[in-house]
Amino acid sequence: MKKGKVYLVGAGCGDLGLLTIKGQDVLTKADVVVYDSLIGDSILGLIPATARIIFVGKRSSNHTMPQEDINQILLEEALKGYKVVRLKGGDPFLFGRGGEELELLAENDIPFEIVPGVTSSIAVPAYNGIPVTHRECCSSLHIITGHKKAGQAYDINFKALVDTQGTLVFLMGITGLRDIMDGLLANGMDPDMPAAVLQQGTTAAQRRVTATVSTLAGEVEKAHIETPAIIVVGKVVALSKQFAWYENLPLFGWKVLVTRPKGHSSVTSEKLREKGAEVLEIPSISTVPMPDSKQMKQVFSKLSEYRWVVFTSPTGVDVFFEKLLNLKADIRALGSAKIAAVGEGTAKKLKERGIIADLIPETYDGDSLGSALASKVRGGEKILIPRAEKGNASLVRQLKEAGAFVTDLPTYCTRFEKSSLVDERKGFEQGKIHCAVFTSASTVKGFAEGTKGLDYSLVKAACIGKQTKAAADALGMQTFVAEKATIDSLVELVEEMKNGKKIQEEV
């Protein structure tokens, strides 16, 4: 049997944007993913549904699986011929035990690659406005493991560290913070040397405690800092107030859940991240093309008879053109037809196909589309609506009442998806997810399917339109609706919600 291959992939330290392009590419093609507990939720969301997932998380003294067993798992899965991704927080070779995991693979001639990750020792200070080197402050950086066994003294040459006069970064050292500070002081460190503890950097939970080597331990105890966190000691820490940038972004501190159809990249997520939100992107629905039915074949063979073709979603556009090819229909048959689109996103999809929509309603929803199109109907026109299996009944009703002959053609169906890796329900119950963004009623319903038992009154829902809002209202969520049914307006709504400027809409 052909051997597989193992990729040691550094996942960075939380922010999805810090995962390397190669790391993302390898992860999305994995057959098996073996992952740790410090992987960001947004990165876990990239793992393909087809991949087998093995959790081997480690935190502090709580080890889910011994290192020797992890090594054996990597070997066994590779011997089965799989593409195995060992997903590790930070960088695999920086206190990540990556070298240990490769030894057994090398002994058995298993192919492997290393995909470096952005280490927290540099990224987290950067997100807190701390340059780990600065010409006027220091010329060296030293990264030290702060981990030690309970009851044992540190095996660290504190004198050598003090003598470097460089920046010191201690990883995994929060439980031994006071011992570390005492060790530095006992070996000549200036008691007034700036020092900081940085909690969960690059995420919505990022916090910073700055003090001096002599006072840091006490300040951290008062602040109730949570792990993971790193310790930074050096003159560069004093620059944090001047150089802080992440916490100044408008959505800093908010973790936002964005629901979307599976397989769709989200412009919404990109815009939220630009404003500083930590975005958890979860597919709540998937869309599946319907089988080529007798009705579908008949319709596509007579496209030239339709006066209007109406698209109610970007997915509807994609599936329509797939069917056009599958059924060997000719796009030129649409030459005399006018095209209607429910909104900006759908119109953009059409434009990618070289088609400019003739009609887009002022308000982007099915009712408004029906009303706008009905006003164009003179009676007797044939109108085709290729769309989801369960579509807006009002759209068809309005067109028929206006005298049109409507073909409501189901071309795809919607299925609900649930993440096996990210516990959305727990996130809302613990107050760690601050808002959910919904771009359709179906994504609300998909979210509900994946979070059964959740008290939905805990969910602040940013909704793109009234139909989406109605679906969220039915579950008892705290609902807010965008002024316009556009992505930009939806992102503005989230910002207003964070700032308390948006009042909850009444049901």
Give me the active site residues, please: 36, 58
The residues facing 289 across adjacent strands are: 412
Q: Which CA distances in Å does 184 have to 154, 188, 193, 381, 505?
A: 12, 7, 10, 84, 56
Cβ atoms 315, 348 nearer than 8 A = no
How far apart are the C-alpha atoms of 81 and 123, rounded to whole Å?
A: 35
Find the helix or strand (DSSP H, E) in which 478 lies: strand 478-481
Strands (E), 246-360: 255-261, 278-289, 308-311, 338-341
Contact present, 318 and 265 (Cβ < 8 Å) = no
Look at strands 308-311 and 338-341 and give their pairing: parallel
Q: The tokens of 290 are what?
A: 């319907």
| Helix residue ranges, H only, 37-172 | 41-44, 67-79, 98-107, 120-127, 158-164
Pairing assessment for the beta strands 5-10 and 62-63 based on DSSP bridges: unpaired
Which residue in this structure is represented by tokens 């503890």? 197
CA distances, 217 to each of 35, 62, 98, 191 (Å): 32, 24, 31, 12
Interacting residues of 16 by C-beta distance below 8 A, sequence separation 6+: 40, 42, 43, 46, 273, 279
d(CA 475, CA 438): 13
Q: State the residue for tokens 């798992």.
A: 73
Of 423, 421, 369, which Cα lies nearest the Cα of 396?
A: 369
In the DSSP assignment, the letter for residue 328 is T
Q: Are 285 and 443 in contact (CB under 8 A)?
A: yes
Using DSSP's 3-state secondary structure scheme, residue 84 falls into strand
How far is 13 from 75, CA to CA, in rounded Å? Answer: 26
CA 16 to chain centre: 7
Tell me whether the omega of the peptide bond preceding residue 386 falls within 30 degrees of 0, making it cis: no
Inter-residue contact 490 to 462 (CB < 8 Å): yes
